[in-house]
Chain A
Amino acid sequence: MALQSLDIARSSATTTPPPSVRQTTEVAKLIDVSTCIGCKACQAACMEWNDIREEIGTCSGVYDNPTNLTENSWTVMRFAEVEEAGKLEWLIRKDGCMHCADPGCLKACPAPGAILQYANGIVDFQEEYCIGCGYCVTGCPFNIPRISQKDGKAYKCTLCSDRVAVGQAPACIKSCPTGALQFGSKEQMRDYAEHRVVDLKERGFKEAGIYDPQGVGGTHVMYVLHHADRPQLYNGLPADPGISPLVHLWKGFAKPLATVAMAAVALGSLYHYVTKGPNEVSKELEDELEKEDAL
């Protein structure tokens, strides 16, 4: 059922090109930080829809609850208090998977089919094929995936691929009471975001803008920020995220070399077997060793 509505654009550790004739609309989630009140309805809706429940924690003195993403909390609200031009600003950012167009997790993943990118832009983990190596965590420029203590597999936001597949909006988007979360085609979301930016600029936020970082090819989760020039104000949102060069080195350069090395070892062994044969012990040596043992 899924494959008709969600064509796979890319699959981890797989070089075979996927079918690509159908043209799917690219979807996007827009998080308008300026209208978010930090109510966490999205967090509750996410857990409810995805059948995950966070353990009851303790108050850390701030509103962040839970304090970080976990395998059970695929989205969390991050609250930052910053002083701008002598005024306190309470910046609230919904954190979660950005669904990069060029996903670092997928590039780093060694398990075939464990991470998929659908043609509509959603990056989804397939836990059945996950081997729990944690490379996706290293590959992610936004520090999103979490490895479960329970089953050792990686979990993160799916952008409710099961809902999107049947034409519904993700659970978080639907619940949002202020309309800070919007969902639609990437084009629509960009249009709406631009309209929001104009509004924010009129209200005095000169540096308002859209966060759709090109370092990862753009994302399918975009932010409208009042301080788009300094995204790090929003609890360390990276200003220019990119996939770690180590991932490129390991997966791009070192992988074929390792294959060649393995093939060379196999060939070398065969050559050694043919030319030298098995290592045989002569009768004399065997007798001599037996005599030594007898002593």
Chain B
Amino acid sequence: MEVTRRQFFKICASGLGGSSIAMMGFSPTPALAEVRSFKLARATETRNMCPYCSVSCGVLIYSSGDKSKNAKADIIHIEGDPDNPVNRGSLCPKGAGLLDMVKSPNRVKFPEVREPGSNEWKRISWDDAISRIAKHMKADRDANFMLQNKDGVTVNRWPTTGFLASSAACNEAGYLTVKTLRALGVTALDTQARI
């Protein structure tokens, strides 16, 4: 762009004039500043438990929306549950980053099976998964159940299947777990809380 001497003076004068006017307080004032609004104000709060380790810290999961019919909820934030006696609101770095585990592209979201001899994971339905596990358990129990030990004492043992119980379960759920598994004869019963 070519600027003549005269144009150059005009540019200078208007620039100086404009900035002087702004300095004298004629500039548009910025709108009043505000802190970022609290993002959980009307989010839905759901109690849950951190799935990582056996400490099982309580967490509050916040999802967008109020559960109304047409609003599809999405988890927007997770923080510690202050009412949970285990962690009283605090979390470890993994727990504090739980949101990214929920959103992780690598998270397994449905049951998958790798058939014997195959190297591929195949998606199956929950119904299929549960009946498949039940069938395997039944077959194993039928084949290996011990009514008596070698001295002829009745033991009713199922020694070939183990069970790892949840550490996040409450006393009542723990009681039911033991009751069910002992009824089946399972001897190798443990909980993640002990590991």
Interface residues of chain A, those whose CB is within 8 Å of chain B, are: 1-3, 6, 8, 11, 39-45, 47-49, 53, 112-113, 116, 124, 126, 128-129, 158, 161-163, 165-166, 171, 174-177, 179, 259, 262-263, 265-266, 269
Is B1 engaged at the interface, CB distance under 8 Å to the other chain?
A: no
Q: Do A39 and B23 contact each other (CB < 8 Å), given the known contacts A162-B39, A174-B80, A269-B13?
A: no
Which residue of B17, B29, B79 is within 8 Å of A45 (Cβ)? B79
A266 partner residues in chain B, CB cutoff 8 A? 16-17, 20
Interface residues of chain B, those whose CB is within 8 Å of chain A, are: 13, 16-17, 19-20, 23, 29-30, 32-39, 41, 77-80, 82, 87, 89-97, 99-100
CA distance A113 to B82 in the complex (A): 36
In the complex, the answer to whether A11 meets B38 with C-beta atoms within 8 Å is no
Instruction: Name the residue among B17, B35, B92, B99 with the largest chain A CB count within 10 angstroms.
Output: B35
Tally A-B pairs: CB < 8 A: 94
B38 partner residues in chain A, CB cutoff 8 A? 162-163, 165-166
10 examples of A-B residue contacts, CB within 8 angstroms: A2-B34, A6-B35, A39-B92, A45-B91, A49-B79, A112-B29, A113-B30, A177-B92, A262-B16, A262-B20
Which residue of B16, B39, B89, B90 is within 8 Å of A265 (Cβ)? B16
In the complex, the answer to whether B99 meets A48 with C-beta atoms within 8 Å is yes
Which residue of A3, A39, A44, A53 is within 8 Å of B32 (Cβ)? A3
Add 9 more A-B contacts to A11-B33, A41-B90, A161-B36 (CB < 8 A).
A2-B34, A3-B32, A41-B92, A44-B96, A174-B90, A177-B87, A262-B19, A266-B20, A269-B16
In the complex, the answer to whether A175 meets B20 with C-beta atoms within 8 Å is no
In the complex, the answer to whether B13 meets A175 with C-beta atoms within 8 Å is no
Of all chain B residues, the one with the shortest Cβ separation from A118 is: B35
Q: Nearest-CB distance from B36 to chain A (Å)? A: 4
Of all chain B residues, the one with the shortest Cβ separation from A112 is: B30
CA distance A177 to B79 in the complex (A): 12
CA distance A129 to B33 in the complex (A): 9
A11 partner residues in chain B, CB cutoff 8 A? 33
Q: Nearest-CB distance from B12 to chain A (Å)? A: 9
